[in-house]
Amino acid sequence: MTALKETFWKRMGNVQAGLLAADGERPIPMTPQVDPEANAIWFITAAGTAADRASKSGGEASFHVADPKAGLYANVWGKVDEHTNEEKLDELWNAFAAAWFPHGRKDHAVRLVKFSPHEAEIWANDGSASFLYEVAKSNVSTHTPDAGDHGRVTF
Amino acid sequence: MTALKETFWKRMGNVQAGLLAADGERPIPMTPQVDPEANAIWFITAAGTAADRASKSGGEASFHVADPKAGLYANVWGKVDEHTNEEKLDELWNAFAAAWFPHGRKDHAVRLVKFSPHEAEIWANDGSASFLYEVAKSNVSTHTPDAGDHGRVTF
């Protein structure tokens, strides 16, 4: 695993919410639960949401992070799949999700979506002025340096 | 001005960076400088960036915020215009921008872009679990409540 990818997974663990675009709809706030071993980001959602609909056909989705506190900016492209594994849901069923569903873990509206990233552009920094200037400049130069705090990774 | 729009401008003032998509390119991190009186968000960028290119033709752009610390999630749609007003640039030329450009205020690469939003979907909250469940549910119901902490506004 490259250093940038490691940094990505580590900081993603501190991201409370990003914007998930699925099923051709506009991005909406969703909480990622990272699972680097499975190369996955899990989302718990409700039946009928864009993420749920897209996951039924293994559709493409993108997750966007802009979290100065976590020091992470990223565009993550991947596909979403429906996941009916009860064991996985139990594992992810933490205080966070428990607060969501009024009928608890057995709420029929609970849907587990597995987002499998295939590519990401990552900026791992605190959003400082000099960093953002580097971002602007790197978008002008003919090649984007694929090392350090900014680059593209494949999964 | 509606309460939600007021909240939007207030919290936007605390957003260090969001993702700006312009000129058909993928979103990149940019720092907003809000100017509610002018119904504008100013971006200082470098010549040749996507924001700079799009601004030359008054192109459409979108700015995406997902900042748990600022308590703001938003998709903002608008257009970008080139702005050559030296006075405005002087006004915005703060410690932030000064750190960016090695040759200072007179750097020929400095570009000022005016983003004029025409519509936004706003979630003004701390990203708590119950809030995000409300988000999920509101995307399922046939109508999205246009009040309180979540809604669409026009500018």
Domain ranges within chain A, ordered by starting residue: 3-154
pLDDT of residue B146: 40
Which range has the worst mean pLDDT, A49-53, A101-105, A148-152, B104-108? A101-105
What is the spatial distance between Cα B9 and Cα A138, in angstroms, rounded to a whole number?
30
Does A92 have pLDDT greater than 70? yes
Using only C-alpha atoms, chain A has a radius of gyration, in whole angstroms, of 16
Measuring CA to CA, which residue among A8, A2, A19 is closest to residue A62?
Answer: A19
- Residue B95 with chain A: CB contacts under 8 Å: 129
- Residue B67 with chain A: CB contacts under 8 Å: 66-69
Q: How confident is the model at residue A134 (pLDDT cuts 50, 70, 90)?
A: low
Does A155 touch chain B if contact means CB atoms closer than 8 Å? no
Does B155 touch chain A if contact means CB atoms closer than 8 Å? no
Does A8 have pLDDT greater than 60? yes
pLDDT of residue B120: 97
Q: Which helix (H) or strand (E) holds A8?
A: helix A3-12
Q: For A51-68, what is the mean pLDDT?
A: 94
Does B47 touch chain A if contact means CB atoms closer than 8 Å? yes
Q: For A46-75, what is the mean pLDDT?
A: 92
Instruction: Read off the pLDDT of residues A9-44 as tens digits, 9 standing for 90 and up.
Output: 999 999 989 999 998 889 999 989 999 999 999 998
CATH number for region A3-154:
2.30.110.10
Burial class of residue B120 (count of CB atoms within 10 Å of its CB; 0-12, 13-18, 19+):
buried
Measuring CA to CA, which residue among A44, A50, A52 is closest to residue A81?
Answer: A52
Write out residues in chain B with pLDDT < 50, as ranges. Answer: 142-147
Closest partner CB to A29 (pick from B18, B49, B66): B66
| Assembly ipTM | 0.86
> Whole-prediction pTM value?
0.88
Q: C-alpha distances in angstroms, B27 versus A31, A39, A101, B4?
A: 20, 23, 33, 25
pLDDT of residue B121: 95
User: Letter for the amino acid at A125?
Assistant: N
pLDDT of residue B144: 46
What 8-state DSSP symbol labels residue B49? S
